């Protein structure tokens, strides 16, 4: 029986996962990337660059915009999940978690 990749990542204690169906987004601290996982096929379909040490992650409800804390640079990255482009906002020393409002309000 095929192992469920998403369940395995959760069981392994992945620091943070963002879900915007049909994808899950997982930060990879060692490679400085975000894995984009198709939850229907349990396969990694893309890698996005995400600074030097991405930690916390959140997304808008549609998954078009990812928000990632980069511990190495002390910043928040706003990443376009389709184009892979990003905007950086300085935060301070070693930011961790990210939370995004479901209503996208501030």
Q: Binning pLDDT at 50, 70 and 90, where does residue 31 land?
A: very high
Q: What are the tens digits of pLDDT across the range 41-79?
A: 999 999 999 999 999 998 887 888 999 999 888 999 999
The reported pTM is 0.73
A 10 A CB-CB count for 95 gives: 18
Residue ranges of domains in the chain: 5-90
Q: Is the pLDDT of residue 104 over 70?
A: no
Q: By the 8 A CB rule, do 27 and 66 touch?
A: no
CA distance 81 to 36: 9
The CATH number given to 5-90 is: 2.40.10.500
Q: Is the pLDDT of residue 98 over 90?
A: no
A 10 A CB-CB count for 36 gives: 19
Q: Is the pLDDT of residue 102 over 90?
A: no
CA distance 78 to 66: 6
CA distance 106 to 36: 26
């Amino acid at each position: 029986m095929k192992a469920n990749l998403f369940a395995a990542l959760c069981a392994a204690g992945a620091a943070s996962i963002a879900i915007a169906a049909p994808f899950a987004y997982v930060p990879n601290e060692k490679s400085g990337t975000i894995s984009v996982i198709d939850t229907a096929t349990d396969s990694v379909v893309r890698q996005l660059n995400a600074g030097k040490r991405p930690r916390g992650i959140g997304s808008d409800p549609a998954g078009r915009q990812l928000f990632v804390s980069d511990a190495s640079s002390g910043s928040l990255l706003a990443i376009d999940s389709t184009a892979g482009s990003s905007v950086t906002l300085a935060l301070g020393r070693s930011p961790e978690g990210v939370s995004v409002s479901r209503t996208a309000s501030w």
